[in-house]
């Protein structure tokens, strides 16, 4: 009889614990959803302005990419040359 009572107490405690966790997670989901909607209402997503002139700025990233490639190549060459010695 004592084993049956212990089993019932254990199952009741398990159900209580699972119920508390379920309620907590439900409240967490509701609060996060509410905060997301609240932030969306008071802080809208900024819209980026599209500029008409794109051709002069398109040459700058290409030159910058070439410079970055040269620096990376030099760093790799130097690393490989110091690694052998």
Tens of pLDDT, residues 51-85:
655 555 555 667 788 889 999 999 999 999 987 65
Which comes out higher in pLDDT, residue 53 or 14? 14
Query: What's the pLDDT score for residue 47?
Result: 77
Q: Is residue 30 part of a domain?
A: yes
Q: Around 17, how many Cα atoms within 13 Å sit in the side-chain half-sphere?
A: 6
Alpha carbon separation from 15 to 18, 22, 25 (Å, rounded): 5, 10, 15
Q: Is residue 3 part of a domain?
A: yes
**Number of domains present in the structure of the chain:** 1
Query: What's the pLDDT score for residue 52?
Result: 59
Q: Is residue 38 part of a domain?
A: yes
Mean residue pLDDT across the chain:
86
Rounded CA-CA distance 65/83 in Å is 27
Which comes out higher in pLDDT, residue 53 or 9? 9
Q: Is residue 61 part of a domain?
A: no
Rounded CA-CA distance 77/24 in Å is 57
């Amino acid at each position: 009889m004592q084993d049956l009572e212990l089993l019932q107490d254990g199952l009741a405690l398990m159900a209580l614990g699972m119920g508390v966790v379920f309620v907590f997670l439900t409240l967490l989901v509701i609060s996060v959803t509410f905060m997301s909607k609240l932030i969306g209402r008071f802080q809208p997503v900024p819209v980026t302005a599209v500029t008409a002139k794109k051709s002069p700025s398109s040459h700058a990233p290409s030159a910058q990419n070439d410079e970055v490639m040269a620096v990376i190549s030099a760093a790799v060459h130097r690393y490989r040359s110091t690694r052998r010695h």
